[in-house]
Amino acid sequence: MTKRPQLMVGVGIALVLLQQQVLLQRPPRLLKISSQHVQSGTAALDLQFSRPMDRSAIAAKTSITPSAPHQWFGEGNPLRVVMDAPSGLEAPIKLELEGVDRRQTLLQRQRWWWDPRPWLVVTRRLPKGEQVQLQTREGDWIPLSPIWPALQSLVPLGNGKGIAMVSSDANGKETIWWRGLQTHNISRSLEGLKTPSPMSLKQLRSDSLLFGHLSTNLNGDLLVQSGGLRPGSDRVELLQAKGSRQRLAIQSAGPIQLLPAGGGLITPTYNGLTLRPLIDKGAPLQMLPGSRELGAFCGASGKAVLVRHWPDYRRSIELVIPGAAPKQLHLGEQAVLALACDGKGQRIWAVLGRWQQQRGDHELVLINTDGMVMQRRSLNPWTVQAGTPMQWDAVGNQLLLTLSQAEMSDGRAALLDADNLQTIDSGADPIGEAQWLQAG
């Protein structure tokens, strides 16, 4: 070997050793920090690092203000912090991230602000039609849609990064829309926490439709079920949060619902509900026979609450736990007008209605998993606006309902404490329907 190749080999080895030492000495870095909605607590954050971290050191050295119970999960990288504050979170959280990696190299201390509180979005009737609006933390309203003659449906995406809507024109023809939202709920400074910024509006189906049904999951995927005037124009499409779009060959007798944790969906059939995976691996479908409808999912726990209609016109509320027969929590003659469930499937809220003296009498009850009524209150003189949902906010531990009174043409967004069912805020502004938009 001559001198030149020897020199080249030597330089190469030296460069490799130098690179190895530089990488060894380089401190670990936080690559990505994002909200995680598939979780069992109040709120959760995912942290992606440049290398596996010492979870116990991160948990011990990182401070969270205001102080709230929380736990760190994960096997080094990524890590997840799950907040579990039973009374809810009322303000942004300051996260002072500190710790070491598995080689005990120090992670540079850094401060983050995180506001996991959801946003209130409503449909509102205006002189020229209807519009979707979002309430800022200061209480102002910003438009998220143009004004359309009528709004048939509003679905905030489960990851908080957009909304999907179904509008209709004067002839009853429907159009499906999607609007992305730029979120600012995680920032290096408190001032950086801002209201989501609307991005461009997209039409998801261009032809005129007779119906459009939307469903979302916590990953932000959107299922669009639509049908037009022409025979055979029915279509089921899945728009994944990462951008891909695919048609699903699924027959359904009604609105299909995506499972919150992703990967599956529930289709109503003529003799019950069918649970199926999005990717068919040939496994037998899980079928729940009987006249049942889906009431609410219990977060990502895999549990759900159903309403069962009996031949003698009674209704029961059932809790479905994976792998177990449905558990009846309530049976009665009242109509079940709205249902909600917490993320662990331990608290179930129901609005029960009875027609008395020419008007509806609506009652809100809190039921535990044994079917015991833990709290109840009459909503009089208010009633739940027909067709509007009841939603539980894990961050604030509160319920959101759209309520109205006999003489009102519009509803009000009402916030109720999820434990004692007392009203927190009955909302002053007239609205059509109120829903939560997750902090993205």
Partner 1 sequence: MNRALLLLIWGWMVLWSVHSGRLDLLMNSVFHGLVGATGIALIVAGLLLLRRQRRPLERLRISWIASTGIAVLMVLAPPAPSFSDLASNRPQGIPQAPQLAFVLPPEQRSLTEWVRLLRSQPDPELVNGNPVNISGFVWRQNNAPPLIARLTVRCCLADATPAGLAVAWPETSEPKANQWLAIRGHMAVQLRNGNPMVVVVPTTIEEIERPERPLEP
Q: What is the largest CA-CA distance in the chain?
A: 106
Rounded-to-integer distance, Cα 41 and Cα 51, Å: 26
Rounded-to-integer distance, Cα 72 and Cα 39, Å: 12
Nearer to partner 1 (CB atom), residue 69 or residue 172: 69
Q: Which of the stretches 142-150, 200-208, 272-280, 382-390 binds partner 1 when contact is defined by CB under 8 A?
A: 272-280
Phi, psi of 46 (to 5 degrees): -105, 135
Count of residues binding partner 1 (CB under 8 A)? 33
Nearer to partner 1 (CB atom), residue 37 or residue 124: 37
Of 143, 192, 277, 289, the one binding partner 1 by CB under 8 A: 277
Shortest Cβ 302–partner 1 spacing (Å): 7
If one asks whether residue 249 binds partner 1 (CB under 8 A), the answer comes out as no
Nearer to partner 1 (CB atom), residue 321 or residue 374: 321
Whether the CA torsion 137, 427, 422, 40 is positive or negative: it is negative
User: What six digits make up the tokens of 26?
Assistant: 């380089």
Of 3, 230, 242, 281, the one binding partner 1 by CB under 8 A: 281
Residues 309-328: x where in contact with partner 1 by CB under 8 A, - otherwise, as a string? ------------xxxx----
Nearer to partner 1 (CB atom), residue 47 or residue 337: 47
Nearer to partner 1 (CB atom), residue 33 or residue 259: 259
Own/partner long-range contacts of 128-133 (Cβ < 8 Å, ≥24 apart):
130/167, 130/432, 132/163, 132/165
Rounded-to-integer distance, Cα 292 and Cα 57, Å: 49
CA trace torsion 32, 37, 43, 44 (10° rounding): -30
Cis peptide, bond prior to residue 116, ω within 30 of zero? no
Subset of residues 116 to 175 that bind partner 1, contact rule: CB under 8 A:
none
User: What six digits make up the tokens of 236?
Assistant: 């089921």
Shortest Cβ 319–partner 1 spacing (Å): 12
Q: Which of the stretches 160-168, 197-205, 294-302, 326-334 binds partner 1 when contact is defined by CB under 8 A?
A: 294-302
Beta bridge pairs of residue 245: 239
If one asks whether residue 283 binds partner 1 (CB under 8 A), the answer comes out as yes
Nearer to partner 1 (CB atom), residue 39 or residue 216: 39
User: What six digits make up the tokens of 10?
Assistant: 């030597």
Of 129, 264, 268, 272, the one binding partner 1 by CB under 8 A: 264
User: What six digits make up the tokens of 50?
Assistant: 């440049």
Nearer to partner 1 (CB atom), residue 163 or residue 218: 218
Residue 32: half-sphere exposure toward Cβ, Cα within 13 Å:
8
Subset of residues 341 to 380 that bind partner 1, contact rule: CB under 8 A:
344
Query: How distant, in Å, are the alpha carbons of 39, 52, 75, 93, 290 from that of 98?
Result: 23, 14, 17, 16, 54
Helices and strands in the chain, H and E counts: 2, 36
Rounded-to-integer distance, Cα 261 and Cα 300, Å: 5
Nearer to partner 1 (CB atom), residue 285 or residue 373: 285
Element of type H or E holding 3: helix 3-25
Q: Which of the stretches 88-96, 112-120, 248-256, 274-282 binds partner 1 when contact is defined by CB under 8 A?
A: 274-282
Q: Which of the stretches 181-189, 281-289, 380-388, 414-422 binds partner 1 when contact is defined by CB under 8 A?
A: 281-289
Of 286, 293, 361, 419, the one binding partner 1 by CB under 8 A: 286
Question: What is the b/e burial string over 330-341, where b = at least 16 CB atoms within 10 angstroms of the residue's CB?
Answer: beeebebbbbbb
Shortest Cβ 30–partner 1 spacing (Å): 18
Query: How distant, in Å, are the alpha carbons of 99, 251, 404 from that of 431?
Result: 47, 35, 10
Of 64, 100, 250, 275, the one binding partner 1 by CB under 8 A: 275
Residues 47-86: x where in contact with partner 1 by CB under 8 A, - otherwise, as a string? ---------x--------------x-xxx----x-x----
Nearer to partner 1 (CB atom), residue 248 or residue 321: 321
Phi, psi of 409 (to 5 degrees): -90, -20
Subset of residues 11 to 50 that bind partner 1, contact rule: CB under 8 A:
38-41, 44
Shortest Cβ 84–partner 1 spacing (Å): 9
Beta bridge pairs of residue 353: 335, 362
**Rule CB under 8 A: which residues touch partner 1?**
38-41, 44, 56, 71, 73-75, 80, 82, 259, 261-264, 275-279, 281, 283, 286, 300-302, 321-324, 344
